[in-house]
Chain A
C-alpha cells in the first residue's frame, strides 16, 4: 500500500504543484531494457585486448608490523606480468585534504590502498599481482613472502581507550577542534555540542531515563563487488573503468595517491550494482593503475571477491552510546545528554559528526549536550553507509524516548508530537531549522491504518521511531544538446543508483514542457562534463535536478530568442504553451521549432550548480513483530514508513528508496554484525554467515509519502535516499519490548542476543520470587 499526503498548501501553490505534466508520473527508467536483458555493462564486464587480471594479497593479521616483503617467487611464476607493494606508491604527505568525500589525511588514504609499515586489519591489502589469468594471479599472490610481527589487536572502543591500549598509529594525537593533544592515543578527535543549562534542565525533570547501548559493525551489503580496470597508456594518459558512486571522487583520490595531475586521468563510470555510501572510497583502482604501468601498459582488471568486500571495504562503525533524557511534569523534554563513541576502523573518520546531529534532531530541546568521540580500532577503515552513523544513535535515542513515553503513560506518537521539532527550532549543533516535516511524519503514522489497527497475540508487539537526516547539496554539472528532431541529449555525471537518470530527465522535461520520452539521459565520464560530486548525501535528484531545470530554462529562452528573430518580433512577444511556440499569428510545435532554430547554429546548454539551501528529511516508522520465545527469531509482521519527501518527482523510485532503506535497517536491527575472534580475525566474511534480509524475510513495506515541499527548490525536492534507514532499529527494538518485556540495549537483536536477554529477565523475575535470606 502506498499513499501520499500533501502539506503546506501555500508552498505547494508557490511551487506550482498543481498542473505538472511530467513530475509525479512513473515512466520507465532509461536503463531499464539493458538491465533486464543483461546488456548493461557493469565493472566486471569490461573486456579489452590484452587484458590482464589482478589479485590483491591481504593481511592475515588484524594488527602487525610488516618487517619485509619478498616478491621474487611471485615475479618468477610464468604468466605473471607485474607485482606491486606499498614501495611502488609515492610517499604521501601527512596532510589533510578535501577530495570530495570528506576531509582525509593523504597518508592514511595511501596506507589503506597498500599497507606500508603496518597491517591494521584482517584483510588489509599488502601487495598486488597482475597475470595473464586470474588463477595465475592468485597463485602468484600466495608466493609473496611477508614477514609480519603480530601485535595485540584493538577491536572495540573499550579496548582502544584503555590506559594500556596498544597504539595503532604512532603519530596520531587527539584533535579537539584545533586543540591538539600531546600524547599518543587511539582517540582521533573529540567534539561537543552544547546549549542551555544541562544541569538545571535535569534538575527540573520529573523523570529521567539514562541508558547505554552497543551496536556492532555492519556492511552496506551492495550486491555487486568492487571491480575496476585500468589502462596506463604509453603516452602517460590513464583510463579507469569502475563501479563508483562518484567518478570525480575516484579521479581526485587516485590522482592524490599516485601524485598525477587530473588531466592525465579519465574515469569512466560503469553501471553500478548498489553502493549505499560504500563505493566512494577507492580500493583496487590505484593498484590496477600501478600494475598496468608496471606490466608494460597493458590493461589490468581487478574484481574483488565477496570475502574481500566484507573484510576490506565498507563497513560502518560499531558504537557505544549513552543517552540520558529528562522530562518535566507535562511530558516536555527538559534536558538531554548523548555521548557517542564511534569506531572509525583503522584510520580516523567515523561518521560520529553526522551521528551527533541525527541524535536528538527530531525533538525541540533547550538544554542539550552531545559529545562525539572518533576512535580507531583494528577493523577496516569505515566508509559511509546510508545516513552514516544515524541508525546507531537513533536506536539509542528512540529506545529512551519510548521508555519515557511508557513511564509517563503517554502514547509514543503523542510524546513525539508534543516534543517534535519544527520551523525555527534548533538542530543538536544549534543551527535553526527552516520549514521541516517531522511532526507531519508522526501524525501520518498516528493516523495510518496500521497504527489504528489492533495487534493481538502472544509475543507480538508494535513499536514506532523517528529519525532525521541532514541531506546535502554538493556540486553538479550537466549539459543538454537539442536535437533537430525535438529530442534532448542530457549528459550528467551523477552515478545512477536508484533511478536518478529518470528523475533528472523528468525535471528537464518538466522545465521544457516536453514529454519525458524526448529526453535521452546518460551518465558520462570525467572528461565530458565539469566537476560533479558523488551520488550520496541524498543530493542527486535535488542538485543535479536543479542543474537540469536550469538547462531547460536556458534552452527555452534561447529557442524563444531565435524564433523571435525568425518571426521578426521581440523575444518577449514569444510565448510557449501546450507544446507550441506562439507570437501573434505565428505558431510552431516544439518539434518543428527544434529544427528551425538550428538551421544556422546548433543549440546546447550547460549548467553548474552548488546549492547550499538543501532541506533535511525526517521519517517516522511503525512496525509489528512477533518473537518466537523458543528460538528468539523475530518475524516482521507489518511495516509502515512515513517520510517527508519534499516533492516526489518519480513516486515509484521514492517509494523504492523508502522501502530499501527500511529493508537495510531491519537487517541491521535483527541480524547483521561483523563477528571477530579474539585475535581480530573476521569470521563471517560471506553472505551465508553475514545474514542480510531477503524478500522472504520481509512483508511488503507500506509507504506514506508526506510532501512538505522544500522552499529552495523549484519543484520542492528534498533528498529521499537516506533518512529511511535511521529509525528501523529503534522501531524494531521498541516493538520487541512490547512483545517480550525486554528492552534491548544492543544491536543486532539476533536470536542469540534476544534469547540471552529474555533468559536474564526471566532469571531476574524468578529471583524476585525467592524469599531473601533476611
Chain B
C-alpha cells in the first residue's frame, strides 16, 4: 500500500496520523480511499476536480505534472505540499 503523508493542517481529520497506508493506483484513487476512511479529506485536497490551486502532489520524490491522474505504485510515498510559487517557480 502507498504511504500518504498527511499535511499537518489536515491531521485533525486523520486522528492525528502523520502517515496513512492507502490502496490505490492513482492519486485520485488514494484521495477517494482516504476520504472514505476520513471524511472531509477530499474537499480539502480537491477543488473543481483538480488539486487545490497553490498545492501540488509529489510521488516518490517527484512533483507530478498529471496531478490527480498521476500513477501510484504499491510502495509509493505520496505528499501533498504547497506549490513553490513566487512567480518564476510556478506549479512546482
Residues of A within 8 A of B (CB): 96-98, 100-103, 175-179, 189-195, 245, 277, 280-281, 316, 349-351, 353-354, 356-357, 369, 372, 382-386, 388-389, 429-434, 470, 472-474, 533-534, 536-537, 610, 612-613
Contact = CB atoms under 8 A, between A and B. Distances in A.
B26 interface: no
B82 A356 contact: yes
Nearest to A97: B53
Contacts of B10: 177-178
Most buried by A among B52, B60, B61, B87: B87
B90 A354 contact: no
Interface in B1-58: 5, 7-10, 18, 43-45, 47, 52-55, 58
21 contacts: A100-B90, A102-B83, A178-B10, A179-B44, A277-B87, A280-B87, A316-B86, A351-B89, A354-B84, A357-B81, A372-B82, A385-B87, A388-B86, A388-B88, A429-B79, A431-B63, A434-B61, A472-B89, A536-B90, A537-B90, A537-B92
Nearest to A350: B86
A718 to B, nearest CB: 14
A70 B81 CA distance: 47
Contacts of B65: 473, 610, 612
B85 A354 contact: yes
A726 to B, nearest CB: 13
A536 B92 CA distance: 12
Nearest to A370: B8
A473 B9 CA distance: 28
Most buried by A among B44, B62, B89, B91: B89
Given A429-B79, A429-B81, A612-B62, A277 B90 contact: no
A536 B79 contact: no
Given A177-B9, A178-B52, A536 B82 contact: no
A102 B54 CA distance: 7
A344 to B, nearest CB: 10
Contacts of A245: 88
A354 B85 CA distance: 6
A472 B10 CA distance: 27
A472 B89 CA distance: 7
Given A245-B88, A473-B65, 5 more contacts: A98-B90, A280-B88, A474-B90, A536-B88, A610-B65
A472 B91 CA distance: 9
B8 A103 contact: no
Given A96-B53, A612-B64, A470 B87 contact: no
A427 to B, nearest CB: 9
B86 A389 contact: yes
Given A431-B79, A432-B77, A610-B65, A534 B88 contact: yes
Contacts of A179: 9, 44
What are the nearest 7 A-B pairs in CB distance?
A384-B87, A388-B86, A536-B88, A351-B86, A103-B53, A384-B88, A178-B44
B43 to A, nearest CB: 7
Contacts of A385: 86-87
Interface of B: 5, 7-10, 18, 43-45, 47, 52-55, 58, 60-65, 77, 79, 81-92
A430 B92 contact: no
Q: Chain A binding site: helix, strand, loop or mixed by DSSP? A: loop
A541 B30 CA distance: 35
A353 B82 contact: yes
Contacts of B61: 431-434
Nearest to B87: A384
Contacts of B81: 193, 357, 429-431
B76 to A, nearest CB: 11
A277 B44 contact: no
Contacts of A175: 54
B44 A384 contact: no
B90 A101 contact: yes
A350 B42 CA distance: 26
A748 B58 CA distance: 36
Contacts of B85: 102-103, 349, 351, 353-354, 388
Contact of B54 (A189, A382, A430): A189
A760 to B, nearest CB: 34
A245 B52 CA distance: 26
B89 A536 contact: yes
Contact of A384 (B60, B89, B91): B89
A103 B54 contact: yes
A101 B87 contact: yes
B75 to A, nearest CB: 13
A429 B77 CA distance: 13
Contacts of A351: 85-87, 89
B91 to A, nearest CB: 6
A102 B91 contact: yes
B62 to A, nearest CB: 5
B42 to A, nearest CB: 10
Contacts of B60: 432
Contact of A353 (B5, B79, B84): B84
A301 B83 CA distance: 35
Contacts of B55: 177
Nearest to B5: A430
B16 to A, nearest CB: 11
A245 B90 CA distance: 13
Nearest to A428: B81
A205 B61 CA distance: 30
Nearest to B53: A103
Nearest to A721: B88
Contacts of A434: 61
